[in-house]
Amino acid sequence: MRVSRLMLVTLRDNPAEAEITSHQLLLRAGYIRRLAPGIYAYLPLMWRVLRKVAEVVREEMDSTGALETLLPQLQPAELWQRSGRWSGYTAGEGIMFHLEDRQGRELGLGPTHEEVVTSLAAELLRSYRQLPVNLYQIQTKFRDEIRPRFGLMRGREFIMKDAYSFHADEDCLRRTYAAMDQAYRRIFARCGLHAVAVEADSGAIGGSASQEFMVTADAGEDLILTSSDGRYAANQERAVSLAAAAVPLPGGCRSAGTGELLNTPNQTSIGDLCSAHGFDPSQIVKVLLLLARFDSGREQPLLVCLRGDQQLNEVKLANAIAAQLAAEQGSLLGITPLSADMLEQQGLPPLPFGFVGPDLGDAVLAGARRWSCSFVRLIDHTAASLESFVCGGNQPDSHRVGVSWSGLGLKPEPLDLRSAQAGDRCLHDPDQLLQASRGIEVGHIFQLGRKYSQAMEACFTSETGASEPFWMGCYGIGVSRLAQAAVEQHHDGNGIRWPLAIAPFEVVVVPANGADTTQASLAEQLYTALGRAGVDALLDDRAERAGVKFKDGDLLGIPWRVVVGRGAATGMVELVDRRGGEPRELEASHLLDLLLPEIERQRRGLLEP
Ligand code: ATP
Ligand code: MG
């Protein structure tokens, strides 16, 4: 390919829309253009990268025996109603784009394909003899993300590889899950990515194993917690740890655990209380009032207690709520803090926000217009294990000191609702501390178990002749996100440094002075020879100054540059490695001998899996 024919438009300055380096570089180097928030055109250079990534993914998936397929992106609502996910995905903060056809039937644009593939399996896979099966596709997905951002990192239209496996028993599912884990490691290594596997949240499904693959990068949206010995790594959404011990409250329980009243004017926060009275945050039980909304229409007030020095983990809370209530209430649509306005809309009197204790009575909800009239009460184990604590007095400007759970008349059932933090001690070895780093989630593998097959009555006939729901796994890779993550890991001040295996071109041949016929013809010859040898070569045939061409080459991130300059007269050229090192002078006739083995090696990937 000749640069003059490439429709190449590079930008000198960082576009205002781009916050992170990889996004800036992809825009500046002419890889992508934004059409609307989260919607990008993949320009020809980007498309070459994406095809290479997809090819690596395809080879590794095929090598596990998975079958490539292509499923419809338009999906009938009825399928999603059967799995119980339609309203969760379309109402409230749901991310599914949906529409009505001319007959008035509702359709969704596929954000994921469990429903479609499960319905196919139900029709096609009748006997245990046909199992296991693992189907995958590489396809554009649509998600109306709440915050599309960072270019291809969080798009509303993006390319995903998704795979779904079907098994007669759980052991077989585990084996495929392990094979996918290995295939994923090979894929990321071949694409030149440093990726780490971390324990991930399995959502409301509970119990099933799930693992995310994170490309470590400061720009990552996820927080990963890793033990210093490397034996534990988890997404913060899921991570568990030992909380620091609480500082005992001097004086212990007072007045049989009902506590003594303390005047706390305007001291609504933990910080206010501690600075006014010298408490340690771990001596306080803080109460969060929230509202959970379900697709059944029910709105459920929550009263959540945590130790004052702990942060609520919203994912753990949502899982706990879903586990307790989803069976009767359907899917959880969202959880929001209760506000004075919301109370007013329910026709309820105001609450003393900032002064609420764990024993706030359900009477305050009596007469609510739509809400259920009693709190669901959830207590984190850090709060539950306090013997004597400080908490709100349930009236403005008052707290109580020296309170116990029995003094409040409550029997806490401890739950894990707190977020693990960097510096916490690890469960597997309290001498190990958790360290935090940021990551970009490029893949997620998941043992779904029988959630979808049961909901959608997708069954096969087992060896004993019984009809049983399939065991299922699902396995995703964000192909377009991965490509940008590679830029986030591989760049310098001059531009991108693509790992060769996914670079749009492997070599760029640059005649320093295109008007010089000796240079131009040697460049042309080398370009042709590289092409014949199966190398993805680019010829910078533009009538630009050498400096401009070098700059663009660096920005584009082509791994190798062959400069044909004054030495051309004596058959000499210069070879430059975009990853660094001194340029090498060599005879043009030796170029292929030197470069081909190197390219061959780098195509297999730069990292050991
Ligand atoms: P996230 O937590 O980042 O929203 P997710 O848990 O919703 O991701 P999955 O449903 O597991 O993601 O999708 C599989 C893979 O697709 C993810 O690991 C990620 O690499 C990619 N992906 C998900 N959402 C997007 C998006 N909006 N833009 C680009 N890639 C995405
Ligand atoms: Mg998501």
CATH of the domain at 571: 3.40.50.800
Distances (CA, A) of 494 to 28, 54, 512: 11, 27, 19
Q: Which two tokens stand for residue 341?
A: 């306005």
* Residues within 6 Å of ligand 1 by CB: 112, 143, 145, 154-155, 158, 160, 441-444, 476, 478, 480-481
**Same structural domain, 527 and 575:** yes
**Same structural domain, 271 and 162:** no
- Would you say 99 and 438 are in contact if contact means Cβ atoms under 8 Å apart? no
**Same structural domain, 518 and 483:** no
Name the residue of 444, 447, 475, 477 to mutate for ligand 1: max ligand atoms within 8 A of Cβ: 444
Q: Give residue 541's domain range.
A: 505-603
Q: Is residue 422 one of the residues assigned to a domain?
A: no
**Same structural domain, 173 and 288:** no
Name the residue of 144, 160, 213, 440 to mutate for ligand 1: max ligand atoms within 8 A of Cβ: 160
C-alpha 425 to ligand 2 mean position (Å) = 29
**Same structural domain, 483 and 516:** no
- Position 205 scores a pLDDT of 54
- Position 285 scores a pLDDT of 98
Q: Is residue 118 one of the residues assigned to a domain?
A: yes
Q: Is residue 517 one of the residues assigned to a domain?
A: yes
Kindly tell me if the per-residue pLDDT of 389 is higher than 90.
yes
pLDDT grade for 203, boundaries at 50, 70 and 90:
low
| Count of the separate structural domains present in the chain | 3
Q: In a 3-state reduction of DSSP, which class is residue 584? A: strand
Kindly tell me if the per-residue pLDDT of 204 is higher than 70.
no
C-alpha 202 to ligand 1 mean position (Å) = 14
pLDDT grade for 175, boundaries at 50, 70 and 90:
very high
C-alpha 478 to ligand 1 mean position (Å) = 6
C-alpha 114 to ligand 1 mean position (Å) = 15
**Same structural domain, 85 and 165:** yes
In 43-119, the DSSP E strands lie at: 67-68, 74-76, 98-100, 106-109
pTM, full prediction:
0.91
Q: Is residue 420 one of the residues assigned to a domain?
A: no
Name the residue of 222, 481, 484 to mutate for ligand 1: max ligand atoms within 8 A of Cβ: 481
pLDDT grade for 609, boundaries at 50, 70 and 90:
very low
**Same structural domain, 258 and 152:** no
- Position 88 scores a pLDDT of 85
C-alpha 146 to ligand 1 mean position (Å) = 13
**Same structural domain, 572 and 466:** no
Closest-approaching ligand to the CA atom of 481 = 1
Q: Is residue 42 one of the residues assigned to a domain?
A: yes
Last residue in a domain, options 488, 521, 544: 488
- Position 295 scores a pLDDT of 81
Burial class (CB in 10 A: 0-12, 13-18, 19+), 198: buried
**Same structural domain, 401 and 446:** no
For residue 509, the cross-strand partners are: 539, 562
Separation between Cα atoms, residue 195 and residue 205, nearest integer Å: 26
Count how many residues are written for the chain. Answer: 609
C-alpha 565 to ligand 2 mean position (Å) = 50
How many angstroms separate the most distant Cα atoms in the chain? 98
**Same structural domain, 262 and 177:** no
Closest-approaching ligand to the CA atom of 156 = 1
Q: What is the CA radius of gyration of the chain?
A: 30
Residue 265 maps to which CATH number?
Answer: 3.90.960.10
Task: Tell the residue nearest (CA) to atom 8 of ligand 1.
Answer: 441
Task: Tell the residue nearest (CA) to atom 29 of ligand 1.
Answer: 154
Residue 72 maps to which CATH number?
Answer: 3.30.930.10
**Same structural domain, 403 and 309:** yes
Mean pLDDT score of the chain: 95
SS3 labels along 253-292: CCHHHEEEEEECCCCCCHHHHHHHHCCCHHHEEEEEEEEE
Q: Is residue 564 one of the residues assigned to a domain?
A: yes
C-alpha 62 to ligand 1 mean position (Å) = 22
Closest-approaching ligand to the CA atom of 160 = 1
Question: Mean of the pLDDT values across residues 213-231?
Answer: 94
- Position 396 scores a pLDDT of 96
Kindly tell me if the per-residue pLDDT of 607 is higher than 70.
no
Q: Is residue 132 one of the residues assigned to a domain?
A: yes
Residue-wise pLDDT for 538-577, tens only, equals 999 999 999 999 999 999 999 999 999 999 999 999 999 9
**Same structural domain, 362 and 477:** no
Q: In a 3-state reduction of DSSP, which class is residue 162? A: strand
Q: Is residue 397 one of the residues assigned to a domain?
A: yes
Beta-carbon contacts of 144 under 8 Å, excluding residues fewer than 6 positions away, are 94, 95, 96, 97, 156
Which residue has tokens 């189907």? Answer: 135
From the CA of 156, give the closest atom in ligand 1: 27
Distances (CA, A) of 77 to 95, 296, 333, 511: 14, 17, 18, 58
